[in-house]
Amino acid sequence: MEKTIGFNNLKVGQRVKVKGKPADGNNFSALEVSIKPGDEECALEGKIQSLEVEKNSMRLMNRDFVLNGSVEIKNVQRQPITLKNLKAGDLVKLKGPFSEATGFAPVKVKMQESKGFNIEELQGGITKIDAATKTLEVLGFTIIVNDKTEIEGF
């Protein structure tokens, strides 16, 4: 059962799910941070801001992601599709590994049903914590936490 915990209970290496909104630069404003069990794959979920099919890239959360030829893309019914079937505004979940050296590398893209609200999320391990500025780093994003951010653990 999840319980509310404080910012100081978060640790480098913990896997978290962060719900919120992209902010300026590489920042992400957190509404909710939840500690999750460890997993090899990381994930980002948000609306496609733009697509460049000829460059095999999409923009999500103010970042560009290049999809190599082996990336698996599926529609809401989980049927295989191509990048050409996607459009700006579609809600997608990207899954793949993350390393500080190479960043986030999507290996799967799945269209998602619209949830009716504009909250985006990312899941991955905390790589840095700055208690003075109340920020975390997850998947190369600087996560801004404030007094209204809910932080949950188990």
Structure confidence by residue, pLDDT tens digits, 2-38: 678 889 899 999 999 999 999 888 899 999 999 988 7
- For the cut 90, the answer to whether the pLDDT of residue 131 exceeds it is yes
Give pLDDT tens digits for 139-153: 999 999 998 999 998
- What domain count does the chain have? 1
Ramachandran region of residue 78, left (φ > 0), alpha (ψ -120 to 50) or beta? left
Residue among 49, 47, 31 nearest 152 (CA): 31
Its domain, for residue 95, covers 3-153
What is the sign, positive or negative, of the torsion defined by CA atoms of 55, 80, 70, 14? positive
One-letter amino acid at 122 equals L
From CA 44, how far away is CA 139, in angstroms rounded? 9
The CATH code of the domain that includes 145 is 2.40.50.320
Work out the end-to-end distance of the chain between its first and last CA atoms, rounded to an integer number of angstroms: 6
The closest alpha carbon to 90, from 101, 105, 77, 75, belongs to 75
pTM of the predicted protein model: 0.86
